[in-house]
A and B are shown apart, each in its own frame.
Chain A
Amino acid sequence: MNITPYLLLAGFLFSIGLIGVLTRRSIILVFLSAELMLNSCNIVFLAFSRILQNYEGAIMVLFVLALSAAEAAVGTAIVVSFIRKTGSSEIDSANLMRW
């Protein structure tokens, strides 16, 4: 077995997360689907890091995980103030800059 099944799994998870980001209406579930997309990219990084036996992909995964933690903190604050302002958790309420 080579790493092809790992890469295919990452592709499947990425496209499921993409469907989630584009079709869910609840703002928090859009955010969680984006996290799923980030993690499917991490699978690709780690698979290549394992097969080439170096650490560049692993370090990149460490940075992605730390940034997604920071993003979760800021995202929570934005969701809280968004709900406070509009009184709704629907993502369609965020239409200030809409065409």
Chain B
Amino acid sequence: MILTGLFFAFALIAFVSSLYLVFHPKTIPASLGMVGSMVAIGMIYALLRFPFFAFIQIILYAGAVMVMVVYLVMSQGFEEIGKEASLSQTIGAYVISVLFLFSFSRVVSKSLLPAWEKAEKGFGSIREIGLNLVKDYAVPFEILSIILVAAMAGSVLLSKRSLK
């Protein structure tokens, strides 16, 4: 099964590069790990028959967010290696995430999920997504445009005035 092999390859890439993001001490290599894991997640979206989201994912993260991180590091002069978290904080973080992972995998493995069926023709194409977006979700879509304008105005205002 070639799709299964591709899934496990991309899952491995996403896993390793997200470990890179979380454990590399320097900012720029860690954000490169973020890009690798986002590209692999985008390929997993494509394996789930949503190529549109794969494109959006790569453009948004490998393009916009990565440029933003590089801009921040270059303009603000980050100290590259900061303090470590305190021991109690680290232990707490690991305990919380292991508990989450344990309960989540229990729920997933005990539940009866429907079997994998062949997708109908044209499922996940841009045309179908767009039709559904303007047919059933027109009002949330318009609210989203208001949120984007508000975010744009807010970020201009925040970076113009320095916080006193």
Contacts and interface: CB of A to CB of B under 8 A. Distances in A.
B98 A15 contact: yes
Q: Which bracket fits the contact residues of A?
A: 35 or more
B1 A1 contact: yes
Nearest to A76: B68
Contact of A50 (B18, B82, B119, B163): B119
Contacts of A77: 154-156, 158-159
A35 B65 contact: yes
A93 B67 CA distance: 25
A7 to B, nearest CB: 5
Task: Identify whether the interface residues of B are mostly helix, strand, loop, or mixed.
Answer: helix
Q: Which bracket fits the contact residues of B?
A: 35 or more
A13 B61 CA distance: 16
A73 B69 contact: no
Given A15-B101, A16-B22, A90-B82, 6 more contacts: A22-B93, A32-B65, A50-B49, A66-B144, A66-B148, A89-B78
Interface of B: 1, 4, 7-8, 11, 14-15, 18-19, 21-22, 27, 30-31, 34, 37-38, 41, 44-45, 48-50, 53, 56-57, 60-61, 64-65, 68-69, 71-73, 75-76, 78-79, 82-85, 89-90, 92-94, 96-98, 100-101, 104-105, 108-109, 113-117, 119-120, 123-124, 128-129, 132-133, 136-137, 140, 144, 147-148, 151-152, 154-156, 158-159, 161-163
